């Protein structure tokens, strides 16, 4: 082999070695961008909690899925067959255009309700007349309920929010598969809506106002 041929071969070997070293060091450079699959996975993991509904843990903030009726007639819905639910909590919320009451329930089945304005808050079965804050009474009777003995502790039966319309929520005891609550309002005639939500099970009552 001539000297020129040997020198040419050596230069070729050194060039290959340099290219190999450069290629191996590219992934180790500080600040190198992660692969597409890693970036996508990380983005999904971070986005999932932030995209959850903001009201997931606060039912009083849940968006209302039904419109207010044009009048203040009775609102009624039947419970599912064999429903065995217990009221575990009551919360209230003040919103733009309406005040909200949420009854939280545990157990099985779908709750029902009967809601209507009444002249007085008459507590069954004793027929005691309750003195509620405000000048009007909206009665909400929850149906499909089981006797609360041995179930979750009962909530405090009386709430006194100072909202535009809602001034009192008085939850009464269980009686023959039903439980009544009386809502003391500043005045009657306000349109109201009642609907159920799930996960967890809730019955929501909204009373509209102009404020």
Q: What is the pLDDT of residue 124?
A: 82
Burial of 130 (0-12, 13-18, 19+ CB in 10 A): middle
The boundaries of the domain holding residue 171 are 59-208
Residue 106 has a CB neighbour count (10 Å cut-off) of 14
Instruction: Note the pLDDT tens digit of each residue in 55-98.
Output: 333 445 555 568 898 888 899 999 999 999 999 999 999 999 99
Residue 163 has a CB neighbour count (10 Å cut-off) of 18
| 118 closest CA partner among 50, 72, 159 | 72
Residue 9 placed within a domain? no
Domain count, the chain: 1
Residue 183 placed within a domain? yes
Q: Could you tell me the pTM of the whole model?
A: 0.69
| 87 closest CA partner among 201, 170, 205 | 201
Q: How far apart are CA 25 and CA 38, in angstroms?
A: 20
Residue 19 placed within a domain? no
Residue 37 placed within a domain? no
Q: Look up the CATH number of the domain holding residue 80.
A: 2.60.40.3500
| 119 closest CA partner among 193, 41, 182 | 182
């Amino acid at each position: 082999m001539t000297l020129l041929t040997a020198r040419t071969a050596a230069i070729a070997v050194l060039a290959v070695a340099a290219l190999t070293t450069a290629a191996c060091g590219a992934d180790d450079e500080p600040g190198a961008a992660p692969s597409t699959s890693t970036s996508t996975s990380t983005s999904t993991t971070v986005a999932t909690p932030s995209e959850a509904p903001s009201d997931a843990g606060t039912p009083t903030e849940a968006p209302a899925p039904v419109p207010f009726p044009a009048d203040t007639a009775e609102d009624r819905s039947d419970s599912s067959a064999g429903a065995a639910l217990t009221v575990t909590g009551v919360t209230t919320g003040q919103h733009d255009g309406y005040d909200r009451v949420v009854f939280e329930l545990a157990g099985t089945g779908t709750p029902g309700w009967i809601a209507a304005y009444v002249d007085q808050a008459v507590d069954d079965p004793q027929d005691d007349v309750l003195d509620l804050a405000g000048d009007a009474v909206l009665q909400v009777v929850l149906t499909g309920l089981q006797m609360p003995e041995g179930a979750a502790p009962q909530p405090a039966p009386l709430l006194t929010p100072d909202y535009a319309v809602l001034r009192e929520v008085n939850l009464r005891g269980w009686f023959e598969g039903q439980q009544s609550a009386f809502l003391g309002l500043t005045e009657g005639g306000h349109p109201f809506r009642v609907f159920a939500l799930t996960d967890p099970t809730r019955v929501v009552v909204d009373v509209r106002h102009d404020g």
